[in-house]
């Protein structure tokens, strides 16, 4: 048997504490068997030893008034707190709940009863006093033992839940697993080269960035890119989250920062990745009284990053969705020297991401991923992977042998609009929904030269929408002309216009809620931000919002605010009149389009063109061969009716 030597003074202190605690427990048991007896009658000391042995049935229960009334019949009574037990002169045992004050006890004694008072403390009473004290002392001892040493002033027990995850070998993820962000990968290629060959940079006196901040929308691949850097450079990868540095105990975050950087220094060169760094890197303020612990953690992070020597080989990579919230001291050169903004992928990027993820799925040969990429404007890399997965799940449910185009279309509609709803709708609501969507589709066809081609129109309810007209962009747009804005406004308000034309002014519904909201936001952007209004001019008047409420206009007088509101109303009224004019002139064609929607529920873009123009229009489909791709601006456009 191996002998255990106790060399730590704190261990001896713990042993002494256990011994002291045992003595207190033993004393509690001893005191539980002791009682203080008071003689109030001249018959000698009363105790259980000299009390007569009486054999009787169960003790009778007396009330307090019964005890007072029969005081002369009581032979002896033992009082412990408010509980009393005793024997009557006829040998009957009794129990009672009494008020053990001095007058009551004197009354019993004067009537000839032998009164004894048990003032001893039981085991539970003693433990109730000493146990809280004992555990408090033990906790203080455990805490101060940790504060005497260790990283950051905390013991190993507090740091046992280490937030860092270490990969000692080459991570499986490399740049070949990252698609759609080629320019960002090129920015970070220098980091990989430095970790592989430092001498090439030192020869020219170049200093590699000590920190890289990755910012962008959720799902764009920030964490994946950080892993790929470590995989390409074949160096250890330390990963943690900003929220892991906060805890109940003050100073724990500082200790974790120290512990993590010490680990990184022992394994240099390496990658140190902090996800959601805005959790600890928020801007400091003189008014942040309750954030002292977070600010201490941030200060420690600043110290650790600033203390690196140029040749340590430790690269700190931070990721955040809110770079505007970070403290300026964290972004200065010497800490996060380089900031890489990861944008949502463009058309070619989405195609590359789909091609990469499609290797894990059994995709039908009829599926054209380029067309899928066209219909997913505004999707991130994570959204695209989820699209393929939802398509595969739908293929399994429908019994397909592989993922077909219909499965991907259903998955995209589910992600954009929500799952199908089996609503039991009134016939008049179905009629109104069909004419509403027919109005959107027809006006969109009339502006086919400036709007995106229609993918489909449907009256199948999804989420809150009772129907929708979905457009398939030819390519990504970075801007809109004023003609495109006005056409988009007319298309958005065409659903309400169709309701008014076919059902009358008193039959219009709240179904155009989302259309009006979209049109209002687009008009406000074009007028107050993009400077497209001749009346307002090229002045940016941004809307200030606080906690989701509508506030006053920034840097604008009341007169300017009134002008903005009037101009928005003017643009929307003009677009609505335009939609009314187009639909009224072609009322029969719109009605035929609505009838076909009622029969088939869903019409493709080619079917809509055939109904409107009498033949298929391939002009727009030829435009898909355009090679120019641009950064996305918004998601696939849908005009939908909501209740």
Q: Which residues lie across from 239 on neighbouring strands?
A: 165, 273
Short-list 81, 82, 70, 61, CA closest to 107: 70
Specify whether 499 is catalytic.
Answer: no
Candidates 437, 499, 567, 596; catalytic one: 437
Q: Which residues lie across from 241 on neighbouring strands?
A: 275
For residues 16 and 429, give the distance between their C-alpha atoms in angstroms, rounded to a whole number. Answer: 82
Helix ranges, 33-69 (H): 64-69
The sheet with strand 83-88 has its strands ordered as: 60-62, 93-97, 83-88, 74-80, 114-117
For residues 172 and 178, give the distance between their C-alpha atoms in angstroms, rounded to a whole number. Answer: 12
For residues 75 and 88, give the distance between their C-alpha atoms in angstroms, rounded to a whole number. Answer: 5
Residues contacting residue 356 through CB under 8 Å, at least 6 positions apart: 177, 179
Peptide bond into 426 cis (omega under 30): no
Cα dihedral 202, 205, 210, 214 sign: negative
For residues 572 and 492, give the distance between their C-alpha atoms in angstroms, rounded to a whole number. Answer: 10
Residue 549 Rama label (left phi>0; alpha psi -120 to 50; beta)? beta
Q: Evaluate whether 597 touches 495 at the Cβ level (below 8 Å).
A: no
For residues 126 and 136, give the distance between their C-alpha atoms in angstroms, rounded to a whole number. Answer: 16
For residues 105 and 113, give the distance between their C-alpha atoms in angstroms, rounded to a whole number. Answer: 9
**What's the N-to-C CA distance of the chain in angstroms?**
79
Q: Evaluate whether 338 touches 209 at the Cβ level (below 8 Å).
A: yes
Secondary structure (3-state) at 303: helix
For residues 224 and 385, give the distance between their C-alpha atoms in angstroms, rounded to a whole number. Answer: 13
Q: Which residues are catalytic?
A: 437
């Amino acid at each position: 048997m191996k002998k255990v030597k106790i060399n730590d003074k704190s261990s001896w202190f713990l042993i002494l504490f256990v011994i002291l605690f045992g003595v207190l427990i033993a004393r509690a048991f001893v005191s539980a068997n002791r009682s203080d007896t008071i003689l109030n009658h001249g018959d000698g000391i009363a105790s259980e030893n000299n009390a007569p042995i009486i054999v009787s049935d169960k003790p009778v229960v007396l009330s307090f008034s019964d005890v007072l009334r029969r005081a002369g019949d009581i032979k002896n009574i033992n009082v412990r707190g408010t509980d009393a037990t005793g024997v009557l002169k006829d040998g009957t045992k009794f129990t009672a709940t009494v008020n053990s004050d001095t007058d009551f006890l004197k009354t019993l004694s004067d009537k000839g009863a032998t009164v004894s008072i048990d003032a001893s403390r039981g085991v539970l009473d003693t433990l109730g006093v000493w146990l809280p004290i004992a555990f408090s002392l033990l906790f203080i001892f455990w805490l101060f033992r940790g504060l005497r040493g260790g990283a950051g002033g905390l013991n190993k027990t507090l740091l046992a839940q280490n937030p860092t995850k270490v990969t000692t070998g080459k991570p499986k993820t490399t740049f070949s697993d990252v698609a759609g962000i080629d320019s960002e990968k090129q920015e970070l290629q220098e980091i990989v080269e430095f970790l592989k060959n430092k001498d090439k940079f030192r020869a020219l006196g170049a200093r590699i960035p000590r920190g890289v901040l990755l910012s962008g929308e959720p799902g764009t691949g920030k964490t994946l890119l950080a892993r790929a850097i470590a995989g390409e450079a074949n160096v250890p990868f330390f990963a943690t989250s900003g929220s892991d540095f906060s805890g109940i105990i003050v100073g724990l975050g500082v200790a974790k920062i120290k512990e993590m950087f010490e680990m990184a220094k022992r394994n240099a060169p390496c990658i140190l990745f902090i996800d959601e760094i805005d959790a600890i890197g928020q801007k400091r303020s003189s008014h942040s009284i309750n954030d002292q612990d977070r600010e201490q953690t941030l200060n420690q992070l600043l110290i650790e990053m600033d203390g690196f020597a140029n040749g340590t080989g430790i690269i700190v990579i931070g990721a955040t969705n809110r770079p505007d919230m970070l403290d300026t001291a964290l972004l200065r050169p010497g800490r996060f020297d380089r900031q890489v903004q990861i944008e949502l992928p463009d058309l070619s990027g989405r195609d590359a991401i789909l091609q990469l993820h499609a290797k894990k799925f059994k995709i039908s040969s009829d599926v054209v991923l380029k067309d899928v990429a066209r219909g997913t404007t505004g999707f991130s890399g994570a959204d695209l992977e989820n699209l393929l997965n939802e398509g595969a799940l739908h293929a399994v449910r429908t019994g397909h042998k592989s993922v077909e185009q219909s499965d991907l279309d259903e998955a995209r509609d589910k992600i954009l609009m929500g799952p199908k709803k089996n609503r039991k709708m009134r016939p008049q609501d179905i009629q109104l929904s069909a004419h509403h969507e027919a109005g959107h589709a027809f006006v969109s066809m009339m502006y086919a030269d400036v709007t995106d081609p229609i993918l489909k129109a449907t009256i199948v309810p999804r989420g809150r929408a009772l129907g929708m007209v979905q457009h398939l962009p030819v390519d990504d747009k970075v801007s809109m002309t004023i003609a495109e804005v006005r056409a988009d406004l007319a298309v958005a308000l065409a659903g309400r216009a169709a309701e008014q034309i076919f059902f009358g002014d008193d039959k219009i519904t709240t179904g155009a809620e989302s259309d009006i909201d979209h049109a209002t936001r687009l008009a406000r952007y074009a007028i107050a931000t993009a400077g497209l209004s001749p009346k307002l001019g090229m002045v940016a008047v941004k809307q200030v919002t606080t906690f989701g409420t509508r506030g006053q206009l920034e840097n604008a007088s009341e007169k300017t605010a009134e002008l903005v509101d009037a101009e928005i109303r003017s643009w929307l009224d003009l677009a609505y009149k335009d939609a009314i004019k187009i639909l009224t002139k072609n009322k029969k064609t719109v009605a035929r389009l609505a009838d076909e929607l009622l029969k088939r529920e869903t019409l493709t873009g080619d079917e809509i063109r055939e109904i409107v123009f009498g033949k298929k229009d391939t002009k727009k489909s030829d435009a898909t061969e355009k090679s120019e791709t641009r950064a996305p601006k918004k998601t696939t456009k849908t005009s939908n009716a909501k209740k």
